[in-house]
Amino acid sequence: MAERTVLQPDDVSRALMRISHQILEVNQGADDLVVLGIPTRGVPLAGRIARNIAQIAGLEGHDLDPEAFVGALDITMYRDDLRRRPLTQSHPTEVPLSGIDGKVVVLVDDVLFSGRTIRAALDACRDLGRPRAVQLAVLVDRGHRELPIRADFVGKNLPSARSERIDVLLSEIDGGDDRVIIRDGEEA
C-alpha cells in the first residue's frame, strides 16, 4: 500500500495555531468559549487548541486555565452506523464545570469526511445543554460530504479520492512525530 506524508509536525503545529487565532478573532476573545474534542484524535487536538488560545489571549496564570474550557464529547451512542458496526470502545464525556448552556462550543475533530461524525456530535451536544452557538474546527477537510455540514476552521483542505484514507498521527496517541498521511487503496 502506497502512502505519502502531506503534513509534517511543523505543519500540524502551524495549522493548529492558525485555527486558534481564528477562533479568538471570530469570537472576539475567549469569553464563554468551550472547546470539546471528539474522540479519539479530536481530544488531544482540542487540548492543544485550548492551550494555544490561553497563550494567545494571555490567559495562562490568570482566572481562566485552559483546562477550564476544554473537554471531550463521546458520540458513540449517537452514531447512525451502530447497527452495521460493532460497538467500539466508549470514551467518557468530560465537559467543563461551567457546562455549555449559553456558551460558544467549538467541536474539534481530526478529519472531516462525510459529516456523519459531526452530526452525531451535534446530537450529543444537544443532550448536554443549549449552547449559544456551535462551531467546528478540523485539522483536515477531505471533502465527500454526505450531510450539509462544513467546518468553520480548517487546518488544511486535502481533496482526496474515496478510495484513499487520511490518517492523522499524533504523539499523544500514536507516539512519534505528528503527521498526516494519505494511504492509497483503502476505503475510508
pLDDT of 67 reads 73
Higher pLDDT, 73 or 63: 73
The larger pLDDT score, comparing residue 61 to residue 185, is at 185
179 CB neighbour count, 10 Å cutoff: 18
pLDDT digits (tens, 9 = 90+) for 2-53: 899 999 999 999 999 999 999 999 999 999 999 999 999 999 999 999 999 9
Residue 165, pLDDT > 60, answer: yes
Contact at 8 Å (CB) between 107 and 120?
Answer: no
Determine the Cα–Cα distance for residues 172 and 58; give it in Å rounded to an integer: 25
Domain locations in the chain? 10-82+91-161
CA 150 to the chain's CA centroid:
13
Side-chain-facing half-sphere of 185: CA atoms under 13 Å: 4
pLDDT, tens digit (0-9, with 9 covering 90-100), for 96-128: 888 999 999 999 999 999 999 999 999 999 999
Q: Residue 59: pLDDT band by 50, 70, 90 thresholds? A: low
Q: How many CB atoms lie within 10 A of CB 184?
A: 13
What's the pLDDT score for residue 68?
81
Residue 160: its pLDDT value, please? 92
The whole-number pLDDT of residue 188 equals 44
Contact 122, 150 (CB under 8 A): no
> Residue 78: helix, strand or coil by DSSP?
helix
* Packing angle, helices 42-56 and 9-26, rounded to 10: 60
In the chain, the DSSP E strands lie at 3-7, 33-37, 70-72, 104-112, 133-141, 153-157, 165-169, 179-183
Q: Are 186 and 16 in contact (CB under 8 A)?
A: no
pLDDT of the residue at 25: 97
Mean pLDDT of the chain: 91
Mean pLDDT of the region 53-76:
80
Query: What CATH code is assigned to 10-82+91-161?
Result: 3.40.50.2020
